[in-house]
Amino acid sequence: MFEYDSVIMSRLLTSLTLTFHIIFATIGVGVPLMISIAEFMGIKKKDPHYILLARRWTRGFVITVAVGVVTGTAIGLQLSLLWPSFMQVAGNVISLPLFLETFAFFFEAIFLGAYLYTWDRFRKPLYHWLLSIPVVIGASMSAFFITTVNAFMNTPQGFELEGRTLTSIDPIDAMFNPATPTKVFHVLSTAYLTSAAVLAAITAFYILKKKGSDYHKKALKLTVGSIFIFALLTAVAGDLSAKFLAEHQPEKLAAGEWHFETEKGADLIVFGTLSEDMEVENEIRLPNVLSFLAKGEFDAKVTGLEEIPDDEQPPLWIHYMFDLMVMIGFYSLGVSLLFLILARFKKWNEYNRWLLWLIVINGPLAMLAIEFGWIFAEVGRQPWILRGYMKVAEGATTSPHVDWMFVLFLALYFVLGVGVVVVLRKLFKNNPAELELEQRYPEISRQEGDEH
Amino acid sequence: MAYEMIGITVLWIFLYGYLIVASIDFGAGFFAYYAKITKRDHVINKLISRYLSPVWEVTNVFFVFFFVGLIGFFPDAAYYYGQTLLIPGSIAIVLIAIRGSFYAFENYGSKESNVYLFLYGATGLLIPAALSTALTISEGGFIKETETGVHLETTALLTSPYSWSVVFLAIVSVLYISACFLTFYAYRADDQDALELIRKYALFWSSPTIIASLTTFIAMSQHNEAHFNRMMEYWWVFGGSVAFFLVALFFIYQGKYYGWAFIAVMLQFLFAFFGYGASHLPYLLYPYITISEGVVNDSMGLALVIAFIAGLCLLLPSLFMLMRMFLFDADYIKGKK
Ligand code: HDD
Ligand code: HEM
Ligand code: HEM
């Protein structure tokens, strides 16, 4: 009865590893930037609070990096173990950015090691800050390179297929395919946004529970201000991504927006349900907005799903993934704007409990938006693994043991996930910021004591 | 030179780099655990963690570089190894993941825990054992190609004397390389107690290393005679390896020139590794893939070589900086920074 399907199992295992890795990868790309900003402000303003902030973030960061590195190694190997036929093709056409990525890792790893162990080694603090620049660049470059590979899977180019042989291969053309610019922009801006959101959430939570000091208030201002800027960038990048889809991957946009018939002045459907005869019900309908999202004009024509062959249509449930992602994007923008407005006027209190709770929730939500966004993008590519050239089923391994490996990795990620949480909690609980401030900079904490 | 020769040379050099840096790391894990259960951890564990903390991530990247480069230069290898290595590969990933993350948890996070240290020690021996299967499989005889695809003959692998001799060789080499390096490091740190202890480890593990090398030779002659005969054509390379082994042993025994001793150890493995590699050619995976048939197309080959050169220009100065800061900075090693 039950036929073993290594394709499904391979998909499940790939999804599992990627959903886990992307959490740490996102932190790995965004947090170095925040650390670097904090340390720079500390040096500029001669304010030890910011330096301490950078130090404490760094200490948490190395733990998450470790998990990012090991899960990244896992996904790197798994790609060959689970998708051998796909990697054979990919190796011929798109291995250049994968290869370049390893140099970015090297670069980042080397300077991260140097940054970690040299806080007090330089006479000028600025020299230490300079070490953070290569870490930021290395992390963002690795995101750039891996994203070009993913972009290639969506809009492959830079080769010709004659039967089973590849000819006229152009690695640069493959790397800079039509999906690359918008994807890279959106992936980077969301990684920065999410990292700022997670750091802000932790700070806000601490203020709620323990009545934070000046240190925490400065941290919150810095992170929420960053959220606002990156949320704006994210919305722009998301809009550009939709315009890219309309032009190059209309089936993904159509499935994501439940846009069945090609028409001018298309409405944007938000949430809703599908009846049995594929009628949209219970939706919020924004007239002509889809045309604007897709083309920048309210009466532009948008391709509907009817033009796509049945067996090449992505599943329709990705609609919800898209809507949730966009909602969270506007939520981040709104909450950070509210905080900034309240902070502008002396009369109002931006450390209002309600607002702080909204900021706390924003952290996990942003991480969820990353997951939703990826599921939307990846499932929206179905049934293709290499759009137009190779279907998922043709790329998978034929080995009959993927199910056991799935169980093995599920257990591994469970242990790693629990481990990270436990270790991070211990790390900061046993060493609160106030205590560390007093140990490292006794003059300042005495001044503050006098003021209060 | 054609791309296949450039490619395989680059990859082999990086695999050699990984062999050395990872062995130091893996062996150190075992010694740290061993010292703990024999209650001598206060002597050496500080020293070990001072060296390892800044570099473990770099070690891991060596490995990633190798397998990503292999897919790039020889995409067919991705297919054959990917199809067959699912289980040993996954086990190796899990071990590497546990080792790397728990190392960070312990070192940057909480207090020392015996469980962490045990995992750290055990994985240090199991990872080389798991990874060495890839080399074993490359000798042929363990993979069948049928119309349904390629499969690994697990029973043949698990009952082969050759396969076990490689595992044994991998483990003892790790311990030997690591002990020799740590001897040098303790000497630089001017830590007499640690030096005495680790020097004993180095001397102890030298004889199993040479014995394991000989058994592997013998097992190879049984398993893949053609390859064994090609190895015999490179007898002088393996002879060089043995000569450097003796030099290293002599210096360590005399208690002098620890730096030169470790360089001799590196040369010992360089000779053996490249002798093995050169005689393995033209096969990447006997008898399915040769480097000339499995090589990537010319345009990608050229792109990868250019990328590699550009990458090296970035990498070498940075690595140099890291070594200056942590390996050759006497104050840092002694714990004054
Ligand atoms: C914090 C996370 C986050 C937030 C708030 C948003 N996105 Fe997003 N989105 C992502 C995180 C993300 C992502 C994880 O980064 C994705 C997955 C694949 C990709 O390229 O980026 C993505 C993909 C993605 C795609 C598909 C691109 C493709 O498949 O090539 C579109 C059309 C949008 N987004 C549009 C938007 C819009 C209009 C947003 C409104 C503000 C928005 N996103 C907010
Ligand atoms: C947007 C998506 C991704 C981002 C931003 C990202 C970023 C990162 C980062 C920052 C690291 C840590 C590197 C280090 O500090 O050494 C990492 C590790 C890694 N990632 Fe991801 N990654 C993403 C997705 C993927 C995917 C899909 C793959 C598989 C092809 C992958 C492969 C790897 C590998 C192999 C490592 C380990 C590198 C090492 O050992 O240092 N990543 N990734
Ligand atoms: C850069 C970050 C990436 C993330 C976060 C990501 C995320 C995901 C997710 C969530 C899935 C599950 C889709 C499903 O259930 O069908 C998936 C599938 C998959 N991804 Fe990606 N992906 C990324 C990039 C890549 C890259 C660079 C590759 C290959 C080089 C890749 C290869 C695959 C494959 C082979 C599958 C399974 C087949 C499929 O379902 O389409 N992904 N990925």
pLDDT tens string A136-163? 999 999 999 999 999 999 988 888 877 6
* Lowest mean pLDDT, pick from A227-236, A255-264, B234-243, B324-333: B324-333
Task: Check whether B106 has a pLDDT greater than 50.
Answer: yes
Is the Cβ atom of A222 under 6 angstroms away from ligand 1?
no
> Which value does ipTM take for this structure?
0.80
CA distance B168 to A285: 68
Is the Cβ atom of A153 under 6 angstroms away from ligand 1?
no
* Residue A110 or B111, more confident: A110
Cβ–Cβ < 8 Å for A411, A177: no
Chain B residues within 8 A of A118 when measuring between CB atoms: 325
Strand A160-162 vs strand B149-152: parallel, antiparallel, or unpaired? unpaired
pLDDT of residue B227: 76
pLDDT of residue A2: 41
CA distance A320 to B201: 61
B326 touches chain A (CB under 8 A): yes
Is the Cβ atom of A29 under 6 angstroms away from ligand 2?
yes
pLDDT winner (highest mean) among A110-114, A239-243, B60-64, B211-215: A239-243
> Looking at residue A177, what DSSP letter applies?
-
Per residue in A234-270, is it b (16+ CB within 10 Å) or e — as a string? bbebbbebbbbbbebbbbbbbbbbbbbeeeebbbbbb
pLDDT band at B331 (very low <50, low <70, confident <90, very high): low
CA distance A46 to A23: 34
All residues at 6 or more sequence positions from B21 whose CB lies less than 8 Å from its CB, including other chains: B55, B58, B59, B62
Instruction: Kindly state the helix (H) or strand (E) to which residue A123 belongs, with its residue range.
Output: none
Contact A103 B318 (CB under 8 A): no
pLDDT band at B91 (very low <50, low <70, confident <90, very high): confident
By Cβ distance, the residue of B53, B75, B109 closest to A88 is: B75
Contact B55 A113 (CB under 8 A): yes
Chain A residues within 8 A of B79 when measuring between CB atoms: 84-85, 87-88
All residues at 6 or more sequence positions from A356 whose CB lies less than 8 Å from its CB, including other chains: A204, A205, A207, A208
DSSP B278-327: HHHTTEEETTTEEHHHHPPPHHHHHHHHHHHHHHHHHHHHHHHHHHHHHT
Report residue A43 as tokens.
Answer: 């040096």
CA distance B100 to A115: 19
B96 touches chain A (CB under 8 A): yes
Task: Check whether B336 has a pLDDT greater than 60.
Answer: no
Contact B97 A412 (CB under 8 A): yes
* Bridge partners of residue B151, in order along the sequence: B144
pLDDT tens string B194-207? 778 888 888 888 88
Contact B101 A92 (CB under 8 A): no
CA distance B31 to B205: 12
Query: Among A63, A109, A54, A51, which residue's Cα sits nearest to residue B108?
Result: A63
A312/chain B closest Cα distance in angstroms: 26
Q: Which amino acid is at B209?
A: T
Share of chain B above pLDDT 90, in %: 0
pLDDT of residue A181: 92
Chain B residues within 8 A of A105 when measuring between CB atoms: 61, 64
Through-space distance between the first and last CA atoms of chain B, rounded to whole angstroms: 47
> Looking at residue A267, what DSSP letter applies?
P
pLDDT of residue B188: 78
Contact A88 B78 (CB under 8 A): yes
CA distance B265 to B277: 18
Which ranges of chain A have pLDDT less than 70?
Answer: 1-4, 163-164, 346-347, 350, 433, 442-452
CA distance B294 to B4: 8
Which of A19, A21, A87, A180 for mutating ligand 2's site (highest number of atoms within 8 Å of CB)? A21
All residues at 6 or more sequence positions from A57 whose CB lies less than 8 Å from its CB, including other chains: A31, A34, A35, A38, A199
Is the Cβ atom of A89 under 6 angstroms away from ligand 3?
no
Q: Which amino acid is at A427?
A: L
pLDDT of residue A16: 92
pLDDT tens string A165-182? 777 788 888 889 898 999
Is the Cβ atom of A239 under 6 angstroms away from ligand 1?
yes
Q: Which amino acid is at B152?
A: L
> Looking at residue A263, what DSSP letter applies?
E
